[in-house]
Amino acid sequence: MGIIEMMRLDGKKGFVTGAARGIGKCTATAFAEAGADLAIVDLDIATAEQTAKEIAEATGRKIIAIKCDVTNEAEVQAMVDEVVEKLGGLDFCHANAGICINAAADEMTFAQWRKNLSINLDSVFLTDTIAAKYMLAHGGGSIINTASMSAHIVNVPQPQCAYNASKAGVIQLTKSLAIEWAKRGVRVNSISPGYIGTDLTLSSPTLQPLIAQWNAMAPMGRLGRPEELGSICVYLAGDTSTFTTGSDFIIDGAFTCF
């Protein structure tokens, strides 16, 4: 089989969390364009269903929508079971759901801290381990986690210590799981996007004043586009990356290079 054929995801089944919009929607679209059938997993089921419909119509793949609170163990288990039942298996997943609460550390409530950690880190543990139990029992698979360049730097000028800590945790969790499962056929990698111009970022009134500052600091002078993350995720989900595990891929336009 040639390298181009190996890049395809024909016959593979997967899911993406936080996929109703933004980065998750773009990576889900890329997976489907490469030939995969998958589930759009999100707490906002109405938007998830619309996204699933759009991707299915554009690609001809089987795309389903599943409502899930990724911080709830029982719901994550039920979601994985539904993916396996409706799609016929599970070969890859992208644990992408996340939030960012910007608050100064000395003003942040413990509830805000816990919400950041619960959605950004606890949910990745639940998603990865529950998906892996199926993969380990059925010949292996690929897990992709969304970390952030914020795991490598301290962002300015916005205060976001909880987000930064949670994303650093995602990278270390990724490496730890990769080591545990390396000989058992399950690969675990992460992507660390820089500032990405999602619809939410571009439309947020609180972020608008920051975008010009971010762009002024960025070597490429711009935000990344969500679709610029798709190709690396397709690579990680497919058969050309079978010797790649425990790695973090920084996609930030060289923002963290200085």
Does the bond joining 226 to the residue before it have cis omega, within 30 degrees of 0?
no
Q: Which of 25, 123, 142, 163 is catalytic?
A: 163
Q: Which of 123, 142, 148, 150 is catalytic?
A: 148
Q: Which of 12, 13, 25, 167 is catalytic?
A: 167
* Spatial separation of the C-alpha atoms in residues 162 and 119, rounded to whole Å: 11
Centre a 10 Å sphere on the Cβ of residue 203 and count the other Cβ atoms it contains.
Answer: 9
Burial 159-197 (b: 16+ CB within 10 A, else e): bbbbbbbbbbbbbebbbebbeebeeeebbbbbbbbbbbe
DSSP string, 137-193: HTT-EEEEEE--GGGTS--SSS--HHHHHHHHHHHHHHHHHHHHHGGGTEEEEEEEE
246: left (phi over 0), alpha (psi -120 to 50) or beta: left
Catalytic residue check, 13: no
* Spatial separation of the C-alpha atoms in residues 148 and 145, rounded to whole Å: 10
Catalytic residue check, 163: yes
Q: Which residues are catalytic?
A: 148, 163, 167
